[in-house]
Copies of this chain bind each other. A is one copy, B any other.
């Protein structure tokens, strides 16, 4: 194993806006919780880095595949004043990439495989959570790792996976071995790189709509997914798999709608050309849906349409799950929630609650997410693709093949 490797690194300048104040987890010149208020002039480079070493409780993974996420694009994208678009936790320079799979090549003392409860042997196919929850703060101790108070994030403020190797704590690593029974080696690692985004969708539509070991819908319920990006598409697949009678995807972009149909949507609506409420009620014979997923990031447009549908539909107990991040104000009519016995819930993260292993087992059992990968590229092609994705709405997931390096 060589001691050097090539990596996609994001650099930017620490240049806080006047109103910015260092917060409790911010580190002058190095890390902040409010990226878009601080970092300027992002540059993505391919450079040589030291291969990481596994410390206590850690493993080193040889990366096989790594997807590009919208947040990768936004970290590398300057606004008119040169500040990055991504608003959250960031610490640069950092190797990008957090939707990845690979094989274990090294394990530090105390690192073990959750699947076997034994030390890693080396060679195991794995993926990992992006969220490095601390395991010791009150939210972690109480069972809510997606809300860790001491979070680190792979590919954001900690070196990520767009490199030959990555080092992560073993506690966030999950075995992909169940996939081997049903998929080729290549498919195992491509699927493995989709576990993280699929888990974000699973956390929203299953965990957050339930409690503990329950969640999601009852077979025979209808669902509506607003937004055919990767999370919305994954939600179509998950909910069709959980027994939804009718999965309806609302998405104006034809190629995304088409992909949604391939992945589980029974019907698609073009909300720019059709009346959302009318169509949902027509398709469902007036019953409407039990679950609405807001995955567009445009809640001020989408929520009123959802609310109108809930008001007119026969189905009670509708849940509106908000998974796309947006700080806009949705206009919510309490009376609709009352009369229709409805609720609105926010969903964030992918960690904990048995989500990763269940997504992997679902894939192993036939939930084939591979059509989500619409383009495969090399490490060297990452910078240009990060630029392309600023405007492209046709690709679902672009995936870097590190096994091809």
Q: How far is the CA of A347 from the CA of B171 in the complex (A)?
A: 26
> Is the CB–CB distance between B139 and A365 below 8 Å?
no
> Is the CB–CB distance between B336 and A346 below 8 Å?
yes
> Is the CB–CB distance between B211 and A218 below 8 Å?
no
Q: Pick the contact of A136 from B114, B341, B352 — CB < 8 Å?
A: B114
> Is the CB–CB distance between A353 and B117 below 8 Å?
no
> Is the CB–CB distance between B343 and A334 below 8 Å?
no
Chain A residues 296 to 324 lying within 8 A of chain B, measured CB to CB, are 299, 314, 316-317, 322-324
> Is the CB–CB distance between A144 and B317 below 8 Å?
yes
**Central interface residue in A146, A169, A214, A290, by most chain B CB within 10 Å:** A214
* CB-nearest residue of chain B to A87: B335
Chain A residues 257 to 287 lying within 8 A of chain B, measured CB to CB, are 266, 285
* CB-nearest residue of chain B to A326: B334
> Is the CB–CB distance between A343 and B345 below 8 Å?
yes
For the complex, is A188 an interface residue (Cβ under 8 Å from B)?
no
For the complex, is A342 an interface residue (Cβ under 8 Å from B)?
yes
For the complex, is A226 an interface residue (Cβ under 8 Å from B)?
no
Q: Pick the contact of A344 from B24, B138, B343, B357 — CB < 8 Å?
A: B343
What distance in Å separates the Cβ of A121 from its nearest Cβ neighbour in chain B? 16
Contacting residues, chain B, for A328 (C-beta < 8 A): 333-334
Chain A residues 140 to 192 lying within 8 A of chain B, measured CB to CB, are 140-147, 149-150, 169-172, 178
Q: How far is the CA of A340 from the CA of B322 in the complex (A)?
A: 13
Q: How far is the CA of A241 from the CA of B117 in the complex (A)?
A: 31
What distance in Å separates the Cβ of A339 from its nearest Cβ neighbour in chain B? 6
> Is the CB–CB distance between A334 and B322 below 8 Å?
yes
> Is the CB–CB distance between B353 and A143 below 8 Å?
yes
* CB-nearest residue of chain B to A247: B365
Q: How far is the CA of A217 from the CA of B346 in the complex (A)?
A: 19
For the complex, is A245 an interface residue (Cβ under 8 Å from B)?
yes
For the complex, is A330 an interface residue (Cβ under 8 Å from B)?
yes
* CB-nearest residue of chain B to A353: B143
What distance in Å separates the Cβ of A181 from its nearest Cβ neighbour in chain B? 9
Q: How far is the CA of A292 from the CA of B331 in the complex (A)?
A: 19
Q: How far is the CA of A345 from the CA of B213 in the complex (A)?
A: 15
Query: What is the oligomeric copy number?
Result: 4
> Is the CB–CB distance between B342 and A346 below 8 Å?
yes
- Give chain A's interface residue range (CB within 8 Å of chain B): 35 or more
> Is the CB–CB distance between A341 and B294 below 8 Å?
no
> Is the CB–CB distance between A144 and B245 below 8 Å?
no
Contacting residues, chain B, for A216 (C-beta < 8 A): 214, 218-219
> Is the CB–CB distance between A330 and B327 below 8 Å?
no
Q: How far is the CA of A202 from the CA of B117 in the complex (A)?
A: 29
Q: How far is the CA of A194 from the CA of B174 in the complex (A)?
A: 38
For the complex, is A325 an interface residue (Cβ under 8 Å from B)?
yes
For the complex, is A18 an interface residue (Cβ under 8 Å from B)?
no
If A339-B346, A346-B342 touch, whether A219 touches B246 (CB-CB below 8 Å) is no
* CB-nearest residue of chain B to A114: B138
Q: Pick the contact of A290 from B143, B213, B246 — CB < 8 Å?
A: B213
For the complex, is A69 an interface residue (Cβ under 8 Å from B)?
no
What distance in Å separates the Cβ of A27 from its nearest Cβ neighbour in chain B? 16
Q: Pick the contact of A314 from B138, B145, B146, B214 — CB < 8 Å?
A: B138
10 CB-based A-B contacts, threshold 8 Å: A112-B136, A135-B171, A147-B316, A209-B214, A220-B358, A221-B358, A221-B361, A266-B365, A332-B332, A334-B344
A interface list, Cβ under 8 A from B: 24, 57, 112, 114-115, 117, 135-147, 149-150, 169-172, 178, 202, 206, 208-222, 238, 241-246, 266, 285, 290, 294, 299, 314, 316-317, 322-348, 352-354, 357-362, 364-365, 367
Known interface pairs A219-B367, A245-B361; 12 further A-B residue pairs with C-beta atoms within 8 A, sorted by A's residue number: A112-B136, A135-B171, A139-B316, A140-B171, A206-B219, A211-B211, A211-B213, A213-B218, A219-B238, A244-B365, A327-B334, A328-B334
